[in-house]
Amino acid sequence: MAAYDAIVIGSGQGGNPLAYKLADRGWRVALIERDQLGGTCVNNGCTPTKTMVASARIAHYARNAMRWGVRCGPVEVDLAAVVARKQQIVARWRTGHERNIARRSNLTVIYGHARFTAPHRLRVAEQELESDRIFIDTGARPALPPLAGLADVAYLTNQTIMELTTLPEHLIVLGGGYVGLEFGQLFRRFGSRVTVLQNGPEILPHEDPDVSLELRLALEGEGIEFRLQAKAESVFVDHGAIGLRLSDGQTVYGSHLLVATGRRPNTDDLGLELAGIQCDRRGFIQVNGRLETSVAGVWALGDVKGGPAFTHISYNDYQIIHGNLIEGKKLSIEGRVVPYAVFTDPELGRVGMTETQARRDGRKLKIGKIAMSAVARAIERDETAGLMKLVVDATNDRVLGAAIVGVEGGELVHIIETLMLLDAPYTALKGAVYIHPTLAEGFWSLMETVAAA
């Protein structure tokens, strides 16, 4: 039985920095990884997808260059070269983790699948490990829908679609969430025909309807076809084409199928029941505000615990755990301000509550909203799709949330996040001096529109 001061299961964006910091304190730390260092973000999430999104944006600019008065020749996308560039950047980040581990002699990487055998004991292959402090950062994987015939079709996931080196003729995307929209636009810009099937009245069902609509209209402008209220009942192959039969009796045919219908936690094979670690009905590990599980001395961080599934949340989970455990702080995940972005073009940058959520809570609201076509810099760039929206508590003028669908929306929303972190009223930005012309200058006009609603 090998004893450690700490065991970290999973080398994701929460587990890695936690393992490094604990090892730097002189602790003997085991980092267990069953696949590749870096977790979802580095290997099949943020890093590779945003690398490919960058290539798609260049293709889009080149293909539409005359819009800005620039002549280009025919545009062709070398998908194999795009994938090779993506793999190089992924390898660079993964190698960085290998170097970080090599510098710490008291940090041991154990490759293999971990299973609990008791509350503070694990088995990895033939090794038995124990520690008073165990941290679970095993992430999540694609959740497959109960769709008849799916097992018999060569479907794609967010991971396998990035290994394609031949462009799909017609990509069907099952799911109108973040993953489906990013890949849908990416492959449309590469040259594929794209159809998105969404089982609901609008894409991005967790956003306000006006925000979702604005993004959908922008994507439709690039030629993406959306089928809303489209419930797929079965999938099959017919003469080499993939067919999805819908509940309304219609059938959609394509050359490739991307399944983007959500994520499920990697908890079903960890032996959590032997440790007494409780999960919710969907398999996500239940934690308190300090991220500790139902077993004292066992924490969960990142996607495996549910909640916002973003890399920056995983990293903040690490900060909370380290701050409480090592620095004597009293940090909690409860009430934290969470920004995020959908990396389509235009981007959707979001923070805090939606208008729908705020009204459901019975709050008195002020709403501000302007079109990106009213922002000078967006006009000059000829990238005017989208809107800025602000949700304000009418009783104290504090910002409850914001959504920015527009060029650099993911960057702009951080300005609103800062206002929320400072607990300052929205009027603090109303009289601010903005550089002209910048996209942030649009906040001046946005603040002027805030009114009771």
**Cis omega (within 30 of 0) for bond into 437:** yes
Could you give the count of Cα atoms lying within 13 Å of 121 in the half-sphere of its Cβ?
A: 7
Q: Exactly one of 97, 120, 322, 436 is catalytic; which is it?
A: 436
Integer Rg of the chain from CA: 24
3-state DSSP percent of the chain in helix, strand and coil, to 5 = 35, 25, 40
Using CB atoms within 10 A of its CB, is residue 299 exposed (0-12), middle (13-18) or buried (19+)? Answer: buried
Structure tokens at 192: 């594929």
Strand partners, 258: 156, 173
| Three-class SS state of 215 | helix
* Residue ranges in 376-426 assigned as alpha helix (H): 376-381, 409-421
| Three-class SS state of 132 | coil
Contact predicate 417/339, CB 8 Å: yes
Strand partners, 115: 123
Containing 213, the helix (H) or strand (E) segment is helix 209-220
Structure tokens at 87: 């793999």
Strand partners, 231: none
436 is catalytic: yes
Please give the positions annotated as active site: 436
